[in-house]
Amino acid sequence: MKALIIVDVQNDFLPGGALEVAHGDEIIEQINRILPKYEIVVATQDWHPLNHKSFASSHVENNVFDVIEWNGYQQTLWPNHCVQGTPGAEFSSLLDTNRIQVIFRKGMDKKVDSYSGFYDNLKSHSTGLDGFLKSKNVDEVHICGLAADFCVYFTAIDALELGYKSVIISKGTKAIDKDAYMKKKELFLQKGGLFI
């Protein structure tokens, strides 16, 4: 059974948003077009408290996009984005949300960032996505959304590690940093991931 995972198609990641992905809005039409092909459709939603430690505003000595050592790993400091209950955290009004069966929120623990739709970055908390997919006998996931080099990529990698056939929909995602994404694409392919 195949499932579609729509990652973080939220206003703050779209043009004009707090952490916009260039041309990120261009993928929405493609996602809406493929939705009817899937019996199971889920979405992830970045849902940060205002004082999240991945925000540069929580580190007065640092700037946005600085990379610091934090919790034992390299942490990029982001502008405040997808803050719980704000318009920036809402799904784009252009996205057809009627077919989304379940929404898995991530990034709610202020002490750890959360790129993947399955776990936080320390893998200390599960979102419940894996359990839901297994309950539906899903063995293959097709992943789209934003951003390709962060939340889409880490969701796809975790899917592989959890035993799913993991496929990234190329026309359904955009990267923040295209060069960095090219390197991550190679790694994803080496680990057995696929692109369509």
Is-catalytic flag, 8? Answer: yes
Q: In 3D, which of 126, 124, 125, 169 has the Cα closest to residue 146? A: 169
C-alpha 65/C-alpha 79 separation (Å) is: 8
Is-catalytic flag, 82? Answer: no
Question: Which is catalytic among the residues 144, 151, 174, 185?
Answer: 151
Is-catalytic flag, 130? Answer: no
Question: Which is catalytic among the residues 12, 25, 53, 106?
Answer: 106
Whether residue 65 contacts residue 76, with contact meaning beta carbons closer than 8 Å, is answered with yes
Whether residue 48 contacts residue 107, with contact meaning beta carbons closer than 8 Å, is answered with yes
C-alpha 188/C-alpha 136 separation (Å) is: 25
Q: In 3D, which of 72, 187, 81 has the Cα closest to residue 122? A: 72
Active site residues: 8, 106, 151
